[in-house]
Structure formats: structure tokens, C-alpha cells
Amino acid sequence: MTDWRADRVGSAIDGSNPTVLAELEEAFAVIGDTQFLPGYSLAITRHPGVDRLSDLPRLRRVAFLADVDLVASAVENVCSQMDSGYRRVNIEILGNSDAFLHAHVFPRYEWESVELRPYPVWLYPRSSWTSSA
């Protein structure tokens, strides 16, 4: 049996991706593999083979970005209620490692170290990005 991580989009479509929180118009809302920033989530495309935003027709691009907004709003609502140190969400579409359209939604907190708080989450140590799950 293939690990669902090998095809995150296909596994979301077939129901075997355990990180899926919701199915939206153009994206799946999923919880991030690591939670060193509690609430880290993503919006991943519902279309196999779509590698970048520009692969979608314009109306689907706009709908995908609207879904990213829904995920970000949900993360903000939950995190601001659960943690008094909540500051904001950061949203990024990168695609440098995983070749499928996805947007990262990172909640940011006052309790983050002063050395890391003002900078992109990618500056966190490599050990933060590994999960035992």
C-alpha cells in the first residue's frame, strides 16, 4: 500500500488523506504535518497535475485564492480564540519542494522567539519541520 503522502492531492480526492479538514470549491483545507506553530494549515489544489497557480484558468485561480482566504480566516478565528498570543496569519504559495499547487497558512504568535518572530517561518530550524506522526 502506498503512503498517502506520496500523492497528497490524489489521496485527498480518494478520501485516504487523513489531514483533510474540508473540501472547498477549488481546494482541500488540510492541517499541516507539523504544528510547531499551532494551527498551521494549507489549501491544496483539487486538480491532479496542477503544479502552479498559473496552470489554472483565471476563474479557477480566483476561486482557489478565495479558498485560501477561507482557510486563513478559519485559522485566524480558531487561533485567536485558543491562544492569547496569536498575532496574524502569513500566507505563502511557494511550490519549491512539492510539485502541486498549495498555499501555506501559518499562524504567528507573540510567544515565538524574538530572533524568529519577525521573519519567515522557513528560518525555523530543520528539526521543527519533522514530525513523528
Contact residues for 30 (Cβ-Cβ < 8 A; gap 6+): 8, 12, 17, 19, 20, 21, 41, 42, 43, 44
Cell numbers describing residue 29: 483545507
pLDDT tens digits for 110-128?
Answer: 999 999 999 999 999 999 9
- Prediction pTM value: 0.94
What CATH class is the domain 4-112? alpha beta
- For residue 128, what is the DSSP state? G
pLDDT tens digits for 39-51?
Answer: 999 999 999 999 9
pLDDT tens digits for 100-109?
Answer: 999 999 999 9
Domain spans of the chain, in order of start: 4-112
